[in-house]
């Protein structure tokens, strides 16, 4: 019996002992009934995890193929394969996965939870977010339900990861953990969810599911080193839906840009809490030149939103498109000024960073 259950029975017993006219036998009988009720209640508590896994698994697929550079000699290279996981987002065959899962994969096939195999007929990749869409010729597939946003998630919430860890024969494996942290930047363009749920090679592209049975995020990477345990990261559902809606509509993600090369403060780079602004190290667009922005200026906010890192800007720009005009609060030649800037369309990834961070 739990401590709570014992306490309830003790309280009940005290009440019975104080009840006028209640015999010792009647009191004992009622206490025994109370104990039985508590035990029955505890026994009937149902763990929701098995049912959630059962419900979401038909929407999870395995993806397998040959890595680019593999030998074309099938008799020598038949086992040199690589694989990952995907989540069905459209009943007609659209599946979301990680860009790093599908890029460089040849002769790839998708295998559903029921064992049906399909060739990939279309691929749309966004390297910046590490999100990709693939298409198979199928109908009436079970679509996963995505959480509208992961912003209301709390650290400590139980979550489930489903995927294809280590071996393709282990597809649709489930592991359970908790949300360890939110709004993690790391070496990504957008903020990530941190979890201690076991995620292994092959889990990439698979869902991180909350206790409502909703996909909270897409598992993307983990820290793997001696002495490092259970540090996985997932792309939040709102970022996944932002990217996939763009890929479905136009085949690419057209991001707005400030047309500036920016340098983050030392505090921002090492992860310390900071209000330090971003420093302009290079003016790259004609729009930025027209706005009067110069090298050495510092950027505090965009349309009233404080920005201290490139990730802050990327998250903010989910709501903007190229051609829009924004107000930048800056410091130039020692003065605080407001610059109006028309956003350009140049898309620069973190892989192109040299001395500064380009956006």
Which of 37, 104, 129 minimizes the C-alpha distance to 314? Answer: 129
157-203 pLDDT tens trace: 999 999 999 988 898 999 999 999 999 987 778 999 999 999 999 99
Please report the pLDDT score of residue 345 as a whole number: 83
Q: Which pLDDT score is estimated for 240?
A: 97
Q: Which of 38-47, 81-90, 169-178 has the lowest mean pLDDT?
A: 38-47
Instruction: Please give the residue that has the higher pLDDT: either 1 or 282.
Output: 282
Assign 3-class secondary structure to the chain: CCHHHHHHHHHHHHHHHHCCCCCHHHHHHHHHHHHHHHHHHHHCCCCCHHHHHHHHHHHEEEEEEEECCCCCCHHHHCCCEEEEEEEECCCCCEEEEEHHHHCCEEEEEEECCCCCEEEEEEEEEECCCCEEEEEECCCCCCCCCECCCCCCCCCCCEEEEEECCCCHHHCCEEEEEEEEEEEECCCCCCCEEEECCCCCCCCCCCEEECCCCCEEEEEEEECCCCCCCCCEEEEEHHHHHHHHHHHHHHCCCCCCECCEEEECCHHHHHCCCCCCCEEEEEECCHHHHHCCCCCCCEEEEECCEECCCHHHHHHHHHHCCCCCEEEEEEEECCEEEEEEEECECCCCCHHHCCCCEEC
Per-residue confidence band for 34, with pLDDT thresholds at 50, 70 and 90: low
Q: Does the pLDDT at position 116 exceed 50?
A: yes
Domain chopping of the chain, boundaries: 3-43, 46-253, 260-358
Catalytic residue among 204, 237, 285, 301: 204
Q: Is the pTM of this model over 0.75?
A: yes
- In sequence order, what are the beta bridge partners of 339? 328
pLDDT of residue 229: 77
Query: CATH number of 46-253: 2.60.120.260, 2.40.50.140, 2.40.10.120, 3.30.930.10?
Result: 2.40.10.120
Question: What CATH architecture applies to the domain 260-358?
Answer: Roll (2.30)
Instruction: Please determine, for residue 150, whether its predicted confidence score (pLDDT) is greater than 80.
Output: yes
- Known catalytic residue: 204? yes
Is residue 130 flagged as an active site residue?
yes
Share of the chain above pLDDT 90, in %: 66
User: Can you give the pLDDT at residue 204?
Assistant: 94
Identify the active-site residue in 8, 100, 265, 276.
100
Q: What is the mean pLDDT of residues 292-299?
A: 95
Q: Active-site residue among 57, 59, 130, 173?
A: 130
């Amino acid at each position: 019996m739990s401590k709570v259950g014992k306490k309830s029975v003790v309280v009940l017993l005290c009440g019975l002992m104080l009840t006028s006219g209640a015999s010792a036998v009647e009191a004992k009988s009622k206490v025994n009934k109370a104990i039985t009720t508590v035990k029955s209640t505890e026994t009937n508590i149902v763990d929701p995890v098995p049912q959630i896994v059962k419900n979401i698994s038909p929407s999870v697929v395995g993806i397998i193929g040959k890595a680019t550079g593999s030998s074309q000699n099938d008799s020598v290279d038949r086992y040199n394969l690589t694989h990952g996981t995907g989540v069905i987002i459209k009943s007609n065959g659209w599946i979301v996965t990680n860009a790093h899962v599908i890029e460089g994969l040849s002769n790839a096939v998708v295998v559903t939870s029921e064992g049906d195999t399909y060739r990939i007929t279309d691929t749309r990749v966004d390297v910046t977010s590490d999100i990709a869409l693939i298409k198979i010729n199928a109908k009436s597939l079970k679509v996963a339900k995505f959480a509208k946003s992961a912003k209301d998630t709390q650290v400590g919430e139980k979550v489930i990861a489903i995927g294809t860890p280590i071996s393709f024969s282990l597809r649709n494996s489930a592991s359970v953990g908790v949300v360890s942290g939110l709004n993690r930047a790391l070496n990504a363009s957008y903020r990530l969810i941190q979890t201690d749920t076991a995620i292994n090679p092959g889990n990439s592209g698979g869902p991180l599911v909350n206790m409502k049975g909703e996909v909270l995020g897409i598992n993307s990477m983990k820290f793997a080193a001696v002495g490092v345990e259970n540090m996985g990261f997932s792309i939040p559902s709102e970022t996944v839906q932002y990217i996939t809606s763009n890929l479905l509509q136009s085949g690419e993600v057209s991001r707005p840009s400030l047309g500036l090369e920016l340098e983050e403060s030392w505090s921002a780079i090492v992860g310390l809490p900071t209000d330090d602004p971003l420093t302009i190290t290079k003016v790259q667009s004609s729009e930025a030149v027209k706005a009067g922005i110069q090298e050495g200026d510092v950027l505090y906010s965009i349309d009233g939103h404080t920005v201290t890192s490139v990730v802050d800007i990327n998250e903010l720009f989910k709501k903007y498109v190229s051609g829009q005009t924004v107000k930048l609060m800056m410091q130039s030649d020692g003065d605080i000024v407001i610059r109006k800037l028309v956003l350009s369309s140049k898309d620069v990834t973190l892989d192109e960073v040299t001395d500064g961070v380009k956006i």
